[in-house]
Amino acid sequence: GSVGLITYMRTDSTRISEEARAAAKEQISKTYGNEYYENRYYKKSSEAQDAHEGIRPTYIYITPESIKDSLTTDQYKLYRLIYNRFLASQMKSAIFDTLAVTIDANEYNFKANGQSIKFKGFMTLYVEGTDEKEDEIGQIPLLEVAQEVKKEKIESKQSFTEPPPRYTEASLVKALEEKDIGRPSTYSPTITTILARHYIEKEAKQLVPTELGKVVNKLLTENFPDIINVEFTAKIEEVADGKENWKQMISEFYGPFEKELEKVEKELEHVELEEEVSDVPCEKCGRMMVVKYGRYGKFLACPGYPECKNVKPYIE
């Protein structure tokens, strides 16, 4: 029959019950050996809502592989992630042998770093992924002090300072967490909403602002600077957590806000977005069609509207 596979998922708590700890210890010792187990407690964030345990498998004996046939592909991947990360949180740290080498070549010094894994520990089950490109640390052969090494080739490379990378979904969630904006249950809907409203677009893994997004952001930050800022948003979280008197806060906020809103509505000029012109001519009037946004994404429309109402699908 049906069974709940995980505990309550709308929480940012890191607390784990003693019963769950005991089950994790038994599973880790049985599967990997006693040397892999470590009873770990994690520091609780002062902002975390701790009414529930951290997200974990309900029954540790139900492994992802044992129920794979009963789950969809996405369900299986998600359950495996939760299962493995929970077990990994109760395992010992990995141990690496690291090596740093300095090579003297006449008046130049070359440095190299290498490492090899000695004990995998929690990395047997879980390795944190990243969207950012990282420098790889490879292995270095055994060397001795004052040993001569042979040069195979020298590659010269010039590097330039690059701007910070754009947010990905993962790095945006991390930034929201660090600034105490929202809750785990609101991160995904927030990103989904700004994508659906075409304020941002996905290019590879990066989130890139659209022309519409830039205009909306400019209008809001210029006209409502007291509201469109991180400190205000974080303060609202305190109201939601019961740390502030919400009636007093709403009373102090809404009067000035209502007046500001009326003022902006009167003074705000009509904004025309810069249209993206395609290379597709309108077969009815000959104008070059422009890219528009609708409920279901991009489409092509004739700029001669309302005289010419021709529209076509937008094909990447």
Catalytic residue ranges: 8
Cα–Cα distances in angstroms (integers) from residue 147 to residues 21, 142, 144, in the given order: 51, 10, 5
Residues 315, 300: contact at Cβ < 8 Å?
no
What is the C-alpha to C-alpha distance for residues 218 and 199, in angstroms, rounded to an integer? 12
Which stretches of 37-168 are DSSP H helices?
73-88
Q: Which residues contact 252 (CB under 8 A, 6 or more apart)?
A: none
Give me the amino acid identity at 35: E
CB–CB of 108/124 below 8 Å? Answer: no
Please report, for residues 26, 107, 149, 151, the alpha-carbon distance to residue 145 in angstroms, rounded to integers and kept in the order given: 46, 18, 11, 17
